Structure formats: C-alpha cells, structure tokens
Amino acid sequence: MHTKQLQELHKKRLETQTDFYTARGLHVYFKDPLMNDKIDVQRVINNVENKLPAHLLSEIEMIVFGTFDEFQERSINAAYKDGALYISNFQDDEADLYDDIIHEISHSLEAPYGYEIYGDERVKSEFLQKRILMHDLLWAKGYKFPKSFFTNIEYDEEFDMLLYKDIGYDKLANLLTGLFISPYAATSLREYFATGFTEFYTHSDHNLLKKVSPALYEKIFILQDSKILDN
C-alpha cells in the first residue's frame, strides 16, 4: 500500500475512532487508531464490563490504545500501570482484544487483593509443584535447564525466551497438556494467576481450569464475590 493511501486510511480511522466513556465511567482513549477496523471496541469493552463484577474493575480508570516503544522492546501487546490499561492498536480480532483486556485487568488486582490471592501460599505451592514436574518433563526430553529456573516464582526473561524460542510454545503446549492452562502460565506465579483469570472470564465452562489448577480456580471464584472478600 502506498504512503498516501496509508495516510488516508490513518486519517479515516482517526475520524471514526473517537474517545468515549463507558457506562461505568471508564475512559477509553485512542492515542493511535486501531488498525483493524472490523473490531468494535465499544462492544468488546461492554462485554468486559458485563462479565466482570464491578469491584474487579475498580482499579481501572482508563484504557489507552496505541503503539508504544515498550511493547516492541518487551515483545508484548498490553500492559497495566497506575490505573490504566495500555493496549496495542494492532489486534487480530475482537476475541484477541478481549483476551488482552481481561489479562491486564487481572494484574491490576494483585495489589488490592494480593493477600486474598497469595496469602495462604496455596496458589504458590500449586504453581511450584507444576514447575518441578515441568522440569522433569523437559529434562527427559533433553532440555537441560538449570533447576533454579523452575523454583523462581518471579518472571525471568531469559527463562521465558528459552521456553518461547528454544522449545517453542507450540511444542511446549503439547508437553504441558494437563499441567498448565497454557505455556505462558508457566513463566511466573503472576502469569499463572493472570492466565487462569483470563481463562475463567473467557470460557463459561470452567471444568478445564478446575481440573488443571484447582487451587487457582478456587481463588478466582472467591474473587468474584465482594461480600466474601469483605469478611
């Protein structure tokens, strides 16, 4: 596509995608227009607000769409920081956008509900048990990674790159079937929670999450009920 055509397309999208506030008062701001004009952003965000209890959205004040240098540097397409969700303006479809928003909302909950999620260490224990099994599975397949990678609950970029590039998420998904919801769930304790939360609010049938990560499922189920959290 020629430069002039790209400029005209960009201008058209700027004209059709305007900032708005949702029914719950969430400010949606387009730093850059969404490149996929088939996506109805309002419909996706309405879906999010309809599915999640209000108290689980209390930390989010704004959603900003755009292209951000940090995304390219870290090979990510969404982030949460200081009350705002930053979402890439390059999205495959509405399901992809919904997934990104839900995933980052989960990270917003770790500060206000960190004790409820991690305090009794049941989720941490479940995660570490899976990590040790993961180490044994990979070792048997010839992937001789240091065991320290598997006992570290924090995100480690080197470890993530080993999983993503040296093994590949497609192959890893087959190896970890029944152990983790997805390969990315294995990268850290925080992502273990976030992927489980995303699974919970993406699929109405929670049987897979219950079976694979029962302790995590129980925590997310409890998070739904503000009355339980207040007690």
pLDDT in tens, the chain (231 residues): 555 555 555 555 555 678 999 989 999 999 999 999 899 999 999 999 999 999 999 999 999 999 999 898 878 899 999 999 999 999 999 999 999 999 999 999 999 999 999 999 999 999 999 999 999 999 999 999 899 999 999 999 889 888 988 899 999 999 999 999 999 999 999 999 999 999 999 999 999 999 999 999 999 999 998 876 766
- In the listed set 108, 133, 156, which residue is the last one of a domain according to the structure? 108
Same domain, 146 and 74: no
Same domain, 94 and 123: no
Same domain, 84 and 140: no
CB 122 within 8 A of CB 129: no
Tally of domains within the chain: 2
- In the listed set 108, 137, 162, which residue is the last one of a domain according to the structure? 108
Q: How far does CA 118 lie from the centroid of its chain?
A: 18
**Token pair for residue 25?**
């008062």
Same domain, 85 and 152: no
Same domain, 121 and 215: yes
Q: Is the pTM of this model over 0.85?
A: yes
Same domain, 124 and 219: yes
Same domain, 146 and 222: yes
Report the pLDDT value the prediction gives residue 18, as an integer from 0 to 100: 87
Same domain, 68 and 84: yes
Burial of residue 26, with CB atoms counted within 10 A of its CB: 0-12 exposed, 13-18 middle, 19 or more buried: middle
CA distance 55 to 96: 24
Report the pLDDT value the prediction gives residue 10, as an integer from 0 to 100: 52
**Token pair for residue 198?**
């995303």
Same domain, 26 and 10: yes
- In the listed set 108, 143, 176, which residue is the last one of a domain according to the structure? 108
Same domain, 127 and 56: no
Same domain, 124 and 226: yes
In this structure, are strands 27-30 and 84-88 parallel, antiparallel, or unpaired? Answer: unpaired
Q: Domain residues for 25? A: 3-108
Same domain, 122 and 218: yes
